[in-house]
Amino acid sequence: MKKLRVLIPKGRIFGNIEALFADAGFPVSLADRTYRPVIAAHWLDAKIMKPQNVGELLELGSHDVGFTGIDWIRESGADVEEILDLGFDRVSIVAAVPAETDEAELRKKNIVVATEYVNLAGAWLREQGREYRILRTYGATEVFPPDDADMIIDNTSSGQTLKDNGLKIVATILESSTRFVASRGAMADGEKRSRIEELAMLFKAVLEGRSRVMLEMNFPRDRFDAIASSREKLPAMRSPTVAPLHGESGYAVKIAVKKSEVPDLIPRLKKLGASDIVEYGLRKVVP
């Protein structure tokens, strides 16, 4: 059986991917000072790399699948196939300038732009018709203005770090999140493609499970019959699971719903006649 060679990014993304594999049924173990995590599946062979390198290494064919932000895929221009948007580590790639900057005056000058995103920045600046020089950075980009740069192009999740450093956002260039991506070669290999699709299905099931809860409750027969025949339908993935209670006094009902719906839904269920409502989490949901 062919092994699937997996790239997992180091840094802040690693924890989310480690938890995703564990919840999918494949715990990850990593010894200190090593770059070869062990995943509890004999057909998975993993290595840790910087997220900036993942796309290009997949394109080169030395690995089959990996995880990285779509910002680094766009920055590198890597020719890979996106399998799944995991929604982790959401950031915006933004242009920011010192808060006191007169933007109209700034447009008249040849500006210095500090960034790790050299290609994304260059493409955006050309679209804007700006005269510029890019100063490549290697972290801590927000400290460059105003002494060493007129503008930065960087990623931010909340914008607070930029504010703390006296910067204001003037444009959003890209919205990014962690993606599950594959090499073209792996997707052209039938056996590897099947494994990749299996992983994607399990990852989707985990993400769906994290977003939902199960509600169980009891309804008196007359109240439930009225609900079933009215427009006041109970929310569910398809339809509620209903079973008669002992003694035919009513029904036990189960519904899988979005977590975000619960605060409004439970009071509504009570008004509809539900009792003994129990909420519990789900590990995986496969639609």
- For 104-126, write each residue's pLDDT tens digit: 888 889 999 999 999 999 999 99
Domains present along the chain, CATH in parentheses: 4-86+178-188 (3.40.190.10), 91-176 (3.40.190.10), 212-281 (3.30.70.120)
Which residues is 151 bridged to in the sheet? 113
pLDDT at 38 over 70: yes
Decide if pLDDT at 248 tops 80.
no
Query: Predicted confidence band at 234 (pLDDT cuts at 50, 70, 90)?
Result: confident
- Provide the CA 73 distance to its chain's centre, in angstroms: 15
| Residue 49 φ/ψ, nearest 5 degrees | -140, 165
Residue 25: the pLDDT is 96
The more confidently predicted of residues 12 and 15 is 15
Model confidence at 249: pLDDT above 90: no
Q: 27 preceded by cis ω (within 30°)?
A: no
- Asked which of 144-158, 194-208, 232-246 is least confident by mean pLDDT, the reply is 232-246
Percent of all residues in the chain with a pLDDT value above 90, rounded to a whole number: 83
How far is the C-alpha of 210 from the C-alpha of 88, rounded, in Å?
13
Lay out the sheet containing 178-182: strands in order across.
44-49, 4-9, 65-69, 178-182, 81-85
Where are the strands (E) in the chain, listed by range? 4-9, 28-29, 38-39, 44-49, 65-69, 81-85, 91-98, 111-115, 132-136, 151-156, 167-176, 178-182, 212-220, 241-244, 250-258, 275-281
CA distances from 110 to 94, 97, 107 (A): 19, 14, 8
The residue-averaged pLDDT of 119-144 equals 95
The pLDDT assigned to 224 comes to 84
CA dihedral 27, 28, 32, 34 (to 10 degrees): 160
Confidence grade of residue 231 (pLDDT, cut at 50, 70, 90): low
At 233, give phi and psi (nearest 5°): -75, 150
Output the pTM of the full model: 0.89
pLDDT, residue 230, reads: 66
182 against 222, higher pLDDT = 182
Residue 233 has pLDDT above 80, yes or no: no
| 145 secondary structure, DSSP code | T
Nearest Cα to Cα of residue 220 among 255, 238, 247, 257 = 247
